[in-house]
Structure 1
Amino acid sequence: MDRIELPRPSDDQDETRDHQNQCLVLLDQLPDAIILHIFSFLTTTESIKTSVLSKRWRSTWTSNPYITFSLPVDKRPKRNSKNFIHFTEAFIDTVLSFWTTIKVKRLLFDVPFHASMQSSIDRLLQFAVRHNFEELSMTLSSGRSSSWPLTVYVLPHFLFRCTTLVSFRVICCCFLMIGAVNWSSLKILRIEFADFDDDAMIRLLSGSPVLESLELKFCQGFKHIRVESRALKELVIDSHGTRSLILEIWAPYLLKLRLVGNSVGAGFKVHEASSLVEADLNFDLTYALDAFGRVRAHGDLVKGLLQRLHHVTKLVMGSWCLQVLSLMDTRELRLPSLECRHPTFLIAADHKGVPGLAKILESSPCLEKLFLQLTCKHSSSWSLQNLGRPNFDAEEFWNSPKRRIYRRLTHVKVVDPGANLLAWEPALSMLKFLLQNTPSLDEIAINSANSNPSKAIHPWVLLKVARIILSHARCSPSAKVILKYPSQGCPSKRARKS
């Protein structure tokens, strides 16, 4: 009878096996602190899979202080919602039955929400509260299919009395507060797509004495934000949604204020912000009223903000705010003296914001550095598209005898995210004027280094822009023009000529 000889492993196979065994030995020798740090980068499902690595890792995941359940958009349920609900509840049951961790550092829960999941998620949050968790991020968006009712998760009452919570980010949840809030350790609060009134706002702020950063995005229902705490340093209002109402703000100790996004309300009014250092006014009001009848109201709104924020040293002005200032009668456009040294302007691909921009510059005697952010889009606000100045001549405007000389301005930086040559026209006219009327100007930097290479403007177009600027007369003999561009497809990373 013939013998059958099995093939012997090759030297390469032996070497691979030895290498794998060595890796497993090294994994077994890792300190617990390193293993838990690795878990911080994994979802809970992924950390459970590490149990196959070795005996030591078989139960290590149960002491993982990072609980993460997040589904990618392409894996979210569309029709068969019952299976997903059972899967989610099974996940929560697994956490509650197997977890042995003493402390939960972070709970991240990002899934579509169904009404039947309320009690299960409540139990998971209760588990986290009992284990003194510090960070909570919840995104519980409603489903979109007909078999998935549009419901919103109601935050449980016990969560508002969690004294260990340090960071809380919540999207699409209901704030139904009963009694006082006690977030004595909370420092960061981010709320998106929520509806709560002034009483709820007062409870949130009064119950968070050490809160340092507050961001409200697509939130509505409240009309006032009053912050007496010295701890709050940053306030962000993104796309405020209370229609036809002005959001009023009192924050005497605030350092940074950002009013951004597309809001449907009547605007903003700052009553007190005497400690403010930075202000970002990059918002757009889009509620439906007669365009011609509200130009003055919009202009007065922006003027009022600048009067209250005249002392900030860093100011960002969006294209919409520049446009409404530009549309005002020059006799009414009287701005306070601004202490801003480093303003940033977002310029649309038209001249509608140029007069407003020039007026702000003229009102900024401390101007040292100027930042311009270009966009290839025209005016974003439909209500202002037909109110621009007909036949506006930017060259003639900037060369008007009324334009002042900026004696302290030393640096101008232009960030171009991929605009075409047409979008450069407003900035080009302004740069020519600054070259000719700024004796202390040291540098104009045109930066496209952050552009997406697939969408970036052609390098030769930017070179043409640089040549146009360089060919213009300069008041400062030391002024330089610097062009920066991604290395892909560009003959050189920097073109400089003094």
Structure 2
Amino acid sequence: KRWQHLWKKLATLSFIYFYDGDFYDDVTRVIGNTLTQCPTDVNLNKFKLKILCSIQHTSQVNSWFRYAITRNVQDVDLLLWDPKTGEEFSFYDELFFNNSCITRIKLYNCVFCPPNATICWDQLKFLSLKKARLVGDLIGITLSGSPCLETLELHNCYGVSRIDASSKKFKNLVLTNYGMRYSHRLADSLGRHRDDIEEELLSGLLSSLAHVKDITLGDYNCLDVLSRLRDKGFQFSRVGADGDEDRITELMDGAVAAAAET
């Protein structure tokens, strides 16, 4: 009983609920009531939210993000899933996309909807997106608005056509399970062969990563494209380091998947 008031001052808030979807309203009510009891003058190290959530609660959930940001949260880990519709959760709150406190973000099953198509994450160093819909130039907007970003992970995301990884602060880029079915659609719409588009995309990406020390490729399709490029004479070496050995490490799918989960 003597601890009942101390939890409100904890530096980490974690809400996890993946059970009966019929209790959407009860879960959101409990979380909302809990946050109203917490102070706003204690900084948050981490805000973790992994719940089944109806799309009709989008506005309420976005208000929870605003609360976390008013407490200068540093680490945000969000997984919101509506099993009845399967729709992605829409992030549209301006404060979420324009703050100087968050240094680490992990999002699952989401759609980015930044107001005025602008993002300003001054202190963000780590960004991991899983099953995210990234239409237009959202990755470009994200990278330009995150000058301190060191690691970008895109797992099973779609809508990405170009990644500018030329920033000197960029250290790690992880791409896994990029749906090849989209390259089929793109090739058909352009009247081009899929192999040509895949080779163009991979060679362009590798060329933009000339300043990166080590690169690991493990997806079967990606390795197949790399093999075709090498057969055509494509060379990839460190800028300013003549005679350097090829810096591309090739791993099997399982090894890369395991590394992505760590």
* SS of aligned partner of 1:150: coil
1:299 aligns with 2:197: no
User: Who is 1:150 aligned against?
Assistant: 86
1:282 to 218, 233, 237: 218
Q: Deviations over 1:134-191 (max 9, x none)?
A: 1100011231xxxx22322111232111221100000001112232211000000000
Are 2:174 and 1:244 aligned?
no
Tell me the distance in 2 between the aligned counterparts of 1:338 and 1:347: 26
Question: For residue 427 of structure 1, what is the aligned residue in structure 2?
Answer: none
Distance 1:129 1:199 in 2: 25
**Aligned residue in 1 for 2:102:** 165
The counterpart of 1:218, out of the listed 156, 169, 187, is: 156
**Structure 2: how far apart are the matches of 1:216 and 1:240?**
8
Helix, strand or coil at the partner of 2:81:
coil
Q: In the alignment, what sits opposite 2:132?
A: 194
- Counterpart of 2:15, as a letter, is F
TM-score normalised over the length of structure 2: 0.78
Deviations 1:256-310 (A, max 9, x none): xxxxxxxxx8352222322222111211229xxxxxxxx8x763235579612x3
Task: Map 1:27-426; keep pairs closer than 5 Å.
Answer: 52=1, 55=2, 57-71=3-17, 76-77=19-20, 81-82=21-22, 84-101=23-40, 102-143=42-83, 148-158=84-94, 159-179=96-116, 180-241=118-179, 243-244=182-183, 266=198, 268-269=202-203, 270-285=206-221, 299-303=227-231, 307-308=235-236, 310-311=237-238, 339-340=245-246, 346=252
Tell me the alpha carbon deviations over residues 47-68 of structure 1, each in whole angstroms, 9 at most, x when there is no partner.
Answer: xxxxx3xx2x120011112110
How far apart, in 2, do the equivalents of 1:214 and 1:104 lie? 23
Paired with 1:300 and 1:89, the residues of 2 have a C-alpha distance of: 51
Q: Which has the higher contact order (CA 8 A, sep 6+)?
A: 2
After superposition, the Cα gap between the structure-2 partners of 1:94 and 1:200, relative to the gap in structure 1 and judged at 3 Å, is same
The DSSP-based 3-state class of the residue aligned with 2:149 is coil
Distance change (3 Å), C-alpha of 1:304 and 1:125: farther
Q: Secondary structure at 2:47's aligned position in 1?
A: strand
Superposed displacement of residue 229, structure 1: 2.0
Partners of 1:192 and 1:217 within 8 A in 2:
yes
The letter of the residue matching 1:86 is: D
Q: Which amino acid is the alignment partner of residue 122 of structure 2?
A: S
d(CA) in 2 for partners of 1:271 and 1:70? Answer: 42
Larger Rg: 1 or 2?
Answer: 1
Q: Aligned letter for 2:6?
A: T
Q: For the structure 1 residues 200 and 298, does the alpha-carbon distance in structure 2 shift closer, same or farther, using more than 3 Å as the test?
A: same
Matched residue type, 1:117: H
- Cα distance change of structure 1 residues 305 and 170 upon mapping to structure 2, 3 Å threshold: farther
Letter in 2 for 1:139: L
After superposition, the Cα gap between the structure-2 partners of 1:212 and 1:342, relative to the gap in structure 1 and judged at 3 Å, is closer
Displacement of 1:127 in angstroms is 0.6
CA contact (8 A) 2:9 2:39 kept: yes
Once superposed, what is the RMSD of the aligned Cα atoms? 3.1
SS of 1:301's partner is helix
2:91/2:110 contact within 8 Å kept:
yes
Using a 3 Å threshold, how does the CA distance of structure 1 residues 341 and 173 change in structure 2: closer, same or farther? Answer: closer
Say which SS state the counterpart of residue 59 (structure 2) adopts.
helix
Work out whether residues 217 and 251 of structure 2, in 8 Å CA contact, stay in contact via their aligned partners in 1: no
Structure 1 contact 62–100 (Cα < 8 Å) conserved: yes
2:217–2:249 contact (8 Å) kept in structure 1: no
Q: Please, which runs of 5 or more residues in structure 1 have no aligned partner?
A: 1-51, 246-264, 287-294, 313-335, 349-372, 374-498
- What is the number of residues matched between the two proteins? 233
Alpha-carbon deviation of 1:344?
A: 6.3
TM-score, normalised with respect to structure 1: 0.43
C-alpha distance in 2 between matches for 1:298 and 1:232? 23
**How far did residue 225 of structure 1 move?**
0.6
1:375-429 superposed Cα distances (whole Å, 9 cap, x missing partner): xxxxxxxxxxxxxxxxxxxxxxxxxxxxxxxxxxxxxxxxxxxxxxxxxxxxxxx
